[in-house]
Amino acid sequence: MSTSIRPQPGIMDIRLYQGGESHVEGADDVVKLSSNENPFGPGEKAKEAFARTVHQLHRYPSSDHAALRQAIAEEHGLDASRIICGVGSDEILSFLCQAYAGPGTEVVHTEHGFAMYRIYAQAAGATPVEAPERERVVDVEAILAACNERTRLVFIANPANPTGTMIGGDQISRLAGGLPPQALLVLDGAYAEYVEGFDGGAGFVESRDNVVMTRTFSKLYGLGGLRIGWGYGPQEVIDVLNRVRGPFNLSETQLQTAAAAVRDHEHVKKCRAENARLRVWLAEALAEVGVPSDTSYTNFILARFADRAEAEACDDYLKTQGIIVRRVAGYKLPNCLRITVGDEASCRRVAHAIAAFKEGRR
């Protein structure tokens, strides 16, 4: 390759995203608890909608996503004209960076924040800036201290991944109110549905002009494999994002499955309740064998070990038992393992295996 052909500045600095592993050499009865997937998958209504789209595959999909935006707006009590749909919420995060960040600008994320914020900032040529957290909780004052006249975007997930912790409305209010005037606050609500009664930050989008919320069908709705997400923001911001969005970014299969999923209250309620029940059970089972975790508001637990060596030894042991969890050293949490709350059998299996691991080290 000619050395004159080079990518844009920043691209070669990107560290590739490490997804959750899904295979263990030599094991067939594998439990995958590494990607925060819903163990129940999508509901029947979503699956039926998915299957029906087979008759339309020769047609180009809707490019304005009106039906899905309407379904989301009705279910969440929002204004459909200020919703944008994307290929996972990842695509919305990418549009935000593409449209608002670039060379000479900064994008703030937090110490243990989701890896994609950094990656999309770098892909846009912007400089990612990391703000410290306090004991695995987003620290609003530290974020504000990291902002300056070059800051264009501030990303936080609330509840957060991989910590599972959450900050309150008073903190969000302080953050949104304290940002420099040219900066947009992005509230990533990938896990918002797991918190009963929580609007994911939609109220701040309504009451302010510098807040955007992103949401996904990948977690509670059990559709991670289909890639659908959405964003909600001020009309001006949504209009900007629609200019960088490809007209046919979502297939009719994605659009119709998501619309059916968001209307299926029974499935949502069942998955939320099961997750809450098993999350408490798993956290207590681990605490009993000396593996603490912060109170989680999500569908995973961040299990803390004595040190990096113990966390890695436990991960290695779990693999021998056919259980895959997530190492999070890349998120500056080397002594932790992130464990998705699976179905009851998976929770029992991972709790039992971690107990056996700890027993073996006494």
φ and ψ at residue 303, rounded to 5 degrees: -80, 130
x/- map, 97-136, ligand PLP, by CB under 6 A: -----------------x----------------------
- Chain mean position to CA 105: 24
How far apart are alpha carbons 105 and 75 in whole angstroms?
A: 36
Residue 36: CB minimum distance to ligand PLP, A: 6
x/- map, 133-172, ligand PLP, by CB under 6 A: ------------------------x---x-----------
Residue 3: CB minimum distance to ligand PLP, A: 35
Tell me if 95 contacts ligand PLP by CB under 6 A: no
Residue 92: CB minimum distance to ligand PLP, A: 8
Tell me if 252 contacts ligand PLP by CB under 6 A: no
Binding ligand PLP (rule: CB under 6 A), the pick from 46, 71, 90, 299 is 90
Name the nearest CA neighbour of 91 among 265, 281, 230. Answer: 230
- Chain mean position to CA 174: 23
Task: Pick the closer one to ligand PLP by CB: 101 or 353.
Answer: 101
x/- map, 183-202, ligand PLP, by CB under 6 A: -----x-x------------
Tell me if 257 contacts ligand PLP by CB under 6 A: no
Tell me if 264 contacts ligand PLP by CB under 6 A: no
CA-CA distances (angstroms) from residue 67 to 76, 95, 213? 14, 21, 20
Residue 309, SS3 per DSSP: helix
Tell me if 218 contacts ligand PLP by CB under 6 A: yes
Tell me if 216 contacts ligand PLP by CB under 6 A: yes
Residue 80: is it exposed, middle or buried by C-beta count within 10 angstroms (0-12/13-18/19+)?
Answer: middle
Task: Pick the closer one to ligand PLP by CB: 219 or 304.
Answer: 219
The C-alpha torsion from 316 through 319 and 320 to 323, rounded to 10°, is: 140
Task: Pick the closer one to ligand PLP by CB: 88 or 222.
Answer: 88
- In angstroms, the first-to-last Cα distance of the chain is 56
Q: What share of the chain is helix, strand, coil (3-state, %, to 5)?
A: 45, 15, 40
Residue 45: CB minimum distance to ligand PLP, A: 20
Residue 21: CB minimum distance to ligand PLP, A: 16
> Of 98-106, 135-143, 214-222, 252-260, which part binds ligand PLP (CB under 6 A)?
214-222
Q: In the complex, which residue's CB is closest to ligand PLP?
A: 88
Task: Pick the closer one to ligand PLP by CB: 42 or 349.
Answer: 42
> Of 67-75, 211-219, 272-280, 329-337, which part binds ligand PLP (CB under 6 A)?
211-219
Q: How many residues bind ligand PLP (CB under 6 A)?
A: 14
Tell me if 229 contacts ligand PLP by CB under 6 A: yes
Catalogue the long-range contacts made by 10-13 (C-beta closer than 8 Å, 24 or more residues apart): 10/103, 10/122, 10/123, 10/124, 10/125, 10/126, 11/122, 11/123, 13/122
Tell me if 94 contacts ligand PLP by CB under 6 A: no
How far apart are alpha carbons 340 and 342 in whole angstroms?
A: 6
Tell me if 89 contacts ligand PLP by CB under 6 A: yes
The C-alpha torsion from 340 through 342 and 348 to 350, rounded to 10°, is: -30
Task: Pick the closer one to ligand PLP by CB: 216 or 254.
Answer: 216
3-state secondary structure 252-298: HHHHHHHHHHHHCHHHHHHHHHHHHHHHHHHHHHHHHCCCCCCCCCC
Which tokens go with 98? 């593409």
How far apart are alpha carbons 220 and 246 in whole angstroms?
A: 26
Q: What does the binding site for ligand PLP look like in residue numbers (CB under 6 A)?
A: 36, 88-90, 114, 157, 161, 188, 190, 216, 218-219, 224, 229
